[in-house]
């Protein structure tokens, strides 16, 4: 047995004792620079070799399901919480109650409890609208303030939203609207919105990037994706709907049957510390970190100014609920003429 101070270079983490495991296999579902920073820092401060693969949440879940009988992944880091909840429901991930749970925001603690402690929140990002300030002015369009604003005929062909069959962002949108409006009215809304949508990119960040580059005027996006585009000089701003919105809880899970379990637990604990949660902002990603003591960048969303719904992560993370909502979207929305 050997004791390692996991974040000696970062501070603020207690000693975690584990066996002579020197390797860790991680699927990372956040942006590449963020993945690279946590891979490099954790490896340097522990001596553990981190083998990291970057995949979107849908691909990550598919890989973990395919490897159920012989897992090759130890930790799944980041990405929208619904697929992590689905993995927990299907018993693909391990129950693990972090010693740091009491240090996390209530929304992260509640999600962990709902999942039977098979996942935990590492960040939160509200859903909203991105818009290109120059295009809005040029086309004399108003800033959308509510969900119903997006149905106005002047936005025809001006909106992008991702494809929920591939994007956790877009699935969060559907689940949010169902909780605000009820299922029937939500799909009536989405069918009307379809007439104003120019295209459905597969990536959740695709629409905000299109808005930033003037390829679309408005997007439905996680608002934390905009400041990084703005920092590159693009004319993009965001707003959250005044009638309420949902949020993703970016999550982390240990895969059941992990080959490097003790290294996985060490990484899990490190990633929940204030120091371990600094790398999102360092990579120009501005989700709200789950540790209450983590540094808050001024470009991160101010949750006090956002009307967040009481999003039911347990229900909308269930496989049958997710499957049915996406099938309904495909049938009632995507396959309908504009």
User: Which pLDDT tens digit goes with each residue over 259-314?
Assistant: 999 999 999 999 999 999 999 999 989 999 999 999 999 999 999 999 999 999 98
Report pTM. 0.86
Share the mean pLDDT of the chain.
92
State pLDDT tens for residues 175-210: 999 999 999 999 999 999 999 999 999 988 999 999
| Residues 67-80, mean pLDDT to the nearest whole number | 96
Q: How do beta strands 120-132 and 247-254 pair?
A: antiparallel
Residue 20, pLDDT score:
55
Q: What's the whole-number mean pLDDT along residues 4-31?
A: 60
Tell me the two tokens of residue 200: 């459905």
Residue 80 or residue 240, greater confidence: 240
Looking at domain 126-246+318-334, its CATH superfamily turns out to be Periplasmic binding protein-like II (3.40.190.10)
Which pLDDT belongs to residue 21? 63
pLDDT band of 119, cuts 50, 70, 90: very high
Spatial distance between the Cα atoms of 245 and 308, rounded to a whole number of angstroms: 5
Provide mean pLDDT across the span 62-90. 95
* Cα atoms found within 13 Å of the Cα of residue 39, Cβ hemisphere only: 20
- In this predicted structure, what is the pLDDT of residue 3? 32
Enumerate the CATH 3.40.190.10 domain ranges in the chain, comma separated.
2-124+248-300, 126-246+318-334
For 292, other C-beta atoms within 10 Å of its C-beta total: 13
Structural element, H or E, at residue 175: helix 168-181
CATH architecture observed for domain 2-124+248-300: 3-Layer(aba) Sandwich (3.40)
Range 235-262 average pLDDT: 97
DSSP state of 146: S
pLDDT for residue 168: 85
Q: What is the pLDDT of residue 59?
A: 87
Does the structure show a pLDDT above 60 at 9? no
pLDDT for 11 beyond 70: no
CA distance 45 to 296: 23
147-175: pLDDT as tens digits: 999 999 999 999 999 999 988 899 999 99
Calculate what percentage of the chain has a pLDDT beyond 90: 86
Report how far residue 175's alpha carbon sits from residue 325's, in angstroms, rounded to the nearest whole number: 8
DSSP state letter for 13: -
């Amino acid at each position: 047995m050997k004791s390692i101070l996991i974040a000696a270079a970062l501070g603020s983490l207690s000693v975690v004792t584990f066996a002579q495991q020197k390797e860790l296999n991680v699927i990372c579902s956040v942006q590449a620079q963020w993945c690279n920073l946590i891979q490099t820092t954790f490896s340097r401060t522990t001596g553990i070799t981190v083998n990291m693969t970057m995949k979107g949440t849908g691909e990550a879940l598919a890989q973990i399901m395919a490897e159920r009988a012989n897992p090759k992944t130890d930790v799944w880091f980041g990405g929208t919480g619904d697929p992590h909840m689905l993995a927990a429901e299907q018993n693909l991930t391990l129950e693990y109650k972090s010693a740091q749970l009491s240090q996390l925001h209530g929304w992260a603690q509640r999600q962990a409890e709902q999942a039977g402690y098979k996942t935990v929140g590492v960040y939160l990002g509200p859903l909203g609208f991105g818009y290109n300030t120059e295009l809005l002015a040029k086309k004399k369009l108003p800033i959308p303030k509510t969900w119903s604003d997006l149905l106005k005929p002047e936005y025809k062909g001006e909106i992008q939203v991702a494809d929920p069959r591939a994007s956790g962002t877009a699935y969060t949108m559907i689940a949010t609207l169902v909780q605000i409006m009820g299922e029937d009215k939500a799909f009536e809304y989405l069918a009307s919105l379809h007439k104003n949508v120019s295209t459905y990119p597969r990536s959740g960040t695709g629409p905000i990037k299109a808005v930033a580059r003037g390829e679309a005027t408005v997007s439905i996006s996680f608002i934390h994706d905009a400041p990084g585009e703005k920092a590159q000089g693009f004319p993009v701003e965001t707003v959250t709907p005044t009638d309420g919105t949902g949020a993703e809880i970016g999550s982390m899970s240990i895969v059941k049957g992990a080959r490097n379990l003790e290294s996985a637990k060490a990484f899990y604990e490190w990633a929940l510390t204030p120091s371990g949660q600094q790398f999102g902002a360092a990579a120009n990603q501005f989700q709200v970190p789950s540790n209450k003591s983590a540094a808050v960048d001024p470009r991160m969303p101010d949750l006090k100014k956002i009307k967040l719904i009481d999003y039911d992560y347990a229900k909308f993370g269930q496989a049958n609920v997710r499957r049915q909502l996406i099938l309904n979207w495909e049938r009632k929305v995507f396959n309908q003429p504009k």
